[in-house]
Amino acid sequence: MKVAIIGGGISGLASALAFERYGITPVVFEKNGHIGDPVLFTSAILHIFNHFKSDPFKHLKKKYNLKLSPSSSIKRIAMYGPTEQVTIEGNLGYITNRMREGTSINNQLSSKLSLSVEFDSLVDIDDLKEEFDHILVATGNSVIPKKLDLWEDIFNTHFRSATVIGHFDTQSVSMWLNKDYAKNCSAYLIPISSKEANLNLVIDNITAREIDYYWEKFLSSEKLDYKIIETRDSSFNCGFLSRHQKDNIYLIGNAGGFVGSLVGLGQIKSIESGILAADSIVKGIDYDKLINPFVQDMKKFYELRMLLNTFTNQDLDRLINLLKKPTLKKLIYNNPLFKVKYGASIAKIYNFLNKVKNP
């Protein structure tokens, strides 16, 4: 069996590891010359967005015998609205390292592989479909699924990430919600170390030329004066796929739409989608059936996203004031059984009524 994996990110590497455990050596094509992000970059995994009840890293170990480690735990989240703020404390999630160097999730996966990744290899499915029995697309974007006519855009954003210097609590994350500079999205800060952090602004419905304006408005509105080492801009889109397998081609990770439209968190689902694609091929199981629970979660997050899109700045302040209530804080953030997706049914009804009222 000849298997090609396009992309050496976390979903591609997880899939490659799964194939190796089955005694199959896939060929991994990576367009960059290295594993991991070329700049300092961290991201967050929040328990309330998980699709399972247990700790995400315990889940990976128990279900797939895959041991990975986060950089640190998240014990505090500071949320800032236009005029209100709240700090939530508890066992809230994890910060993960996605960088080129160090013990990033990418490098942890890579270190478990016996195969050598084909670096500096920019390939397309047309280059591979005759040579390989199965092709897994782990490119991290929607280019190939759109080419296959499988992708439907649901949420498009522009993204600026800055590496900043300051004094940071490595177990604390900050988040800003304000329609004036983030529209229907948000800004957030995730520590890299006690002296460096990623400061990010995500905005929907703007052009690439407008991001400078919103970035400056964000910094001035929140009175942030961190020393900025570097910035980078990118665009990102979330989408639904009509199916995740077409002929001998499988869509995994971000290319499979496994990123929540609510806050863009999807690391664990991306890793699992790569493993399940390998299971599907080796065991002859329908891939779309295997990942259907993930797809249903994505749809639930989308209903919540549509609800939040209707919020005004006053509504965001009301939400933050609601989160200040001790009983609610305990229920949501210190209850391992509570998941954001459980509110999707209410959001779906609200969205339907709002659509009827405002067709």
pLDDT value at position 350? Answer: 38
pLDDT of 134 strictly over 80? yes
Can you tell me whether residue 76 is helix, strand or coil?
strand
pLDDT in tens, 111-131: 999 999 999 999 989 989 889
pLDDT value at position 53? Answer: 61
CA angle 339, 239, 94 (to 5 degrees): 40
- Please list the alpha-helical segments (H only) found in the chain: 10-21, 56-64, 105-111, 125-128, 143-147, 179-182, 211-221, 267-283, 287-290, 292-309, 313-323, 326-333, 344-357
Token pair of 3 as six digits: 């298997």
CA distance 109 to 257: 21
Q: Angle at which helices 326-333 and 313-323 pack, to 10 degrees? A: 90
pLDDT in tens, 63-106: 999 999 999 999 999 999 999 999 988 888 899 987 776 788 99
Q: What is the three-state SS of 143-173?
A: HHHHHCCCEEEEEEEEEEEEEEECCCCCCEE
Instruction: Give the range among 74-83, 133-142, 317-326, 346-355 with minimum mean pLDDT.
Output: 346-355
CB-side neighbour CA atoms (13 Å) of 179: 10
pTM: predicted TM-score of the whole model, two decimal places:
0.88
CA dihedral (32, 35, 39, 41) in degrees, to 10, reads 130
pLDDT in tens, 262-312: 555 678 899 999 999 999 999 999 999 999 988 888 888 787 788 888 889
Token pair of 40 as six digits: 């300092």
pLDDT of 335 strictly over 50? no
Domain, as residue range, for 261: 3-357
**Is 250 within 8 Å of 280 (Cβ atoms)?**
yes
| Residue 171 neighbours by CB under 8 Å, 6+ apart | 72, 73, 74, 75, 76, 95
pLDDT value at position 339? Answer: 47
Q: Give kind and range of the element (H or E) at residue 86.
A: strand 85-97
CATH number assigned to the domain comprising residue 303: 3.50.50.60
**Is 252 within 8 Å of 138 (Cβ atoms)?**
yes
CA distance 218 to 187: 8
pLDDT value at position 336? Answer: 45
Instruction: Give the range among 1-10, 231-240, 242-251, 287-296 with minimum mean pLDDT.
Output: 231-240
pLDDT of 217 strictly over 90? yes
Total structural domains within the chain? 1
